[in-house]
Amino acid sequence: MAEPGLGIACLPDFAVSEQLEGGTLVSVMEDAVRHSGTFRILWPSSRLLSPKIRVFVTS
């Protein structure tokens, strides 16, 4: 939604590096953002967690 100009987004640098380099996104409020290195993951609750997700989440 941010890329077509419909709002702003707080995204990790690696997810938008191409857009920032290409100029389709610009960084705003840089002083207000703190890079903590924490990455949060949400997935549907289920007894049968995919092995790929289990490895990713526990690593």
Query: Could you read off the pLDDT of 1-59 as tens digits, one per residue?
Result: 899 989 999 888 888 999 999 999 999 988 887 776 777 777 777 777 778 877 877 65
pLDDT of residue 24: 93
In this predicted structure, what is the pLDDT of residue 58?
Answer: 65
15: which DSSP letter?
H
Give the C-alpha separation, 10 to 1, whole Å: 12
User: Is residue 11 helix, strand or coil?
Assistant: coil
- Rounded Cα–Cα distance for residues 52 and 59 (Å): 11
Domain boundaries, the chain: 13-58
> Is the whole model's pTM more than 0.75, yes or no?
no
For residue 58, CA distances in Å to 15, 25, 41 come to: 21, 32, 11
